[in-house]
Structure 1
Amino acid sequence: MQQHPFQISRKIEYGMRAMIFLASQPMDRTVPFREIARRMDVPEDFLAKILKTLVERNMVRSTRGAHGGYALARPAREVSFLDVIEAVEGPVVVNVCQDGSSHDSCKATGSCTMYGVWKLGQQRMLEVYRHATLDRLAMSDLRVPEPAPEAPTRPAAESRRVE
């Protein structure tokens, strides 16, 4: 099936899955990339490249060694859907006339009746992506279970009967 121009790429989808997984973990937990790939059903080779990009864009930090892996570089509440999309693929542009340069990039500038619609569509889409933060998208079933608190034990002297 041919990809539709408005379809989100696998790169964005997999990057978002990885970021949501990391947002679901405690900030101090470093997760091996193979665990992210397995839990989020992302091909390891593809995920390795995406994580490298996310590290380069300061979205994720990596740690090497036996206990190495990946973690968010900043709190999940400070990372938007748009931040992840742009880190992975670059700026979001609905149409070439919305690429940030002047309205002149289109040959039909003087008579274009679509420009306003494209502009409004892009503004609204970016607004939605900008306000969707990872802390709101974190999935509770991906969180590492907290260890159960130990039941208090009674000192031996209290458990003996006093006569």
Structure 2
Amino acid sequence: MQHVLQISRKIDYGLRAMIHLAGLPAGRIASLQDLCVPLHLPREFLAKILKILTAKGLVRSSRGAHGGYQLARPARDISFLEVIEAVEGPVQLNVCLDDKDRCDVSAGCTMYQIWKVGQDRMLEVYRRTSLAQLASEPTDPVPIPLGVPARG
């Protein structure tokens, strides 16, 4: 079954690895194997994702027998959105939300505003959710007030 607005495996695996690293005791380094096995992630693909996260400054890697990966900054200072954007680039629900790529009918489009509100709210939740929150309460929902109540 095809799902619309579905995140990529790359984002999913990157987030899972980062949340796992956020849950480790301070100073602890996780090997690639330490991440792949409990998270059930493909080794080679995760290695590529971790390389990206390292290049973006979110992960610190070290080589050698006791090498591995750890967060480059405290988990409370890394947002869900920052990881997503590091792995795949800017989040955009529809091409019309990009000022450079507006479609021919965007000026009179009745859907533009709903796409814009949806994206703004989604980004707010992602921006306000830290890896520390996700690592500390993995089974409980993270309460994020949206500021504007939904109309119904």
- Tell me if TM exceeds 0.5: yes
Partner of 1:27, secondary structure, is coil
The counterpart of 1:138, out of the listed 118, 135, 139, is: 135
Q: Which residue of 2 aligns with 1:67?
A: 66
Aligned 8 A contact 1:24 1:140 in 2? no
Distance 1:20 1:137 in 2: 7
Which segments of 5 or more consecutive residues in structure 2 lack a partner in the other structure?
139-152
Give the match for residue 123 of structure 1.
Answer: 120
Determine the C-alpha separation between the residues in 2 that align with 1:66 and 1:87: 28
Letter in 2 for 1:125: M
Deviations 1:134-160 (A, max 9, x none): 10111579xxxxxxxxxxxxxxxxxxx
Name the structure 1 match of 2:107.
110
Q: Which residue of 1 aligns with 2:18?
A: 19
What's 1:82 paired with? Answer: 81
Counting matched residue pairs gives 138
Give the distance between the partners of 2:63 and 2:90, measured in 1 at CA. Answer: 30
**Residue identity matched to 1:124:** R
Classify the secondary structure of the residue corresponding to 1:70: strand
Query: Quick check: which has more Rg, 1 or 2?
Result: 1
- State how far apart, in whole Å, the 1-side matches of 2:130 and 2:25 are: 16
1:94 aligned residue: 93
Q: CA RMSD in A?
A: 1.6
Looking at structure 1, the residues matched to 28 and 42 of structure 2 have their Cα atoms a distance apart, in angstroms, of 22
AA partner of residue 122 (structure 2): M
Question: What fraction of aligned residue pairs are identical, expressed as a percent?
Answer: 58
User: Is the 1:27–1:72 Cα contact (8 Å) retained in structure 2?
Assistant: no
CA distance in 2, matches of 1:15, 1:140: 18
Shift of 1:5: 3.1
What's the offset of the Cα at 1:82?
Answer: 0.4
Q: Which runs of 5+ in 1 are unaligned?
A: 142-163
What's the TM-score, normalizing by structure 2?
Answer: 0.85
Q: TM-score, normalised by structure 1?
A: 0.80
